[in-house]
Amino acid sequence: MKQFIVLAAILPIMLLFVSQATLEGVRGLRMSAAEDAVRAFCIEAAYFDGGGAAEADALRSKLARIFRTDPGEVFLSLAKPDSHHVEWSLSFPVGDVMAGARLMGLSDAENRGRAEMRGVIVIAPKPPPPQEGTGETENNGREPAETGAQDPEPADPGGENEDTISPDEDRGP
């Protein structure tokens, strides 16, 4: 009976660890999806002259769907200090900070917060388009670089290689 009472006391506490790990895993997946969306937006804006107000609102709506919140609660800041870098900052509300907050005596207001993510995306410059009529090729007329790799030797079609085993030979155990 003693063991049952101890189990009844400890089991809910042990389940909190599993619940918290699950909550953190889901939050991590959402943050990763948000980072991918922001990165794709920045690259598209840099290479394809996108990134207008309509595209930014669409991104904000997408981020709100990822974090299951209102688009007005998602704050996104993009800065382009030079032509090769985009700095971004994302702030969003976090609903359940702790799993089992009521069991630990936390109210719903105490169990909410905001998270912030920041990053820098380095964007390679666009290569200039090849000029027609000048004879430029993709490597600007240079010969391909020597890599030092050798062509693989062709297979021995005649079976003269001594490592070849014929179907009649014994292959062992």
**CA–CA dist 55, 76 (Å, integer):** 12
pTM of the model: 0.62
3-state secondary structure 92-152: EEECCCCCCCCCCCCCCCCCCEEEEEEEEEECCCCCCCCCCCCCCCCCCCCCCCCCCCCCC
Task: Give the domain ranges of the chain.
Answer: 2-122
pLDDT in tens, 85-133: 888 899 999 888 888 888 788 888 888 889 999 999 888 777 777 777 6
Distance CA 63, CA 154 (A): 55
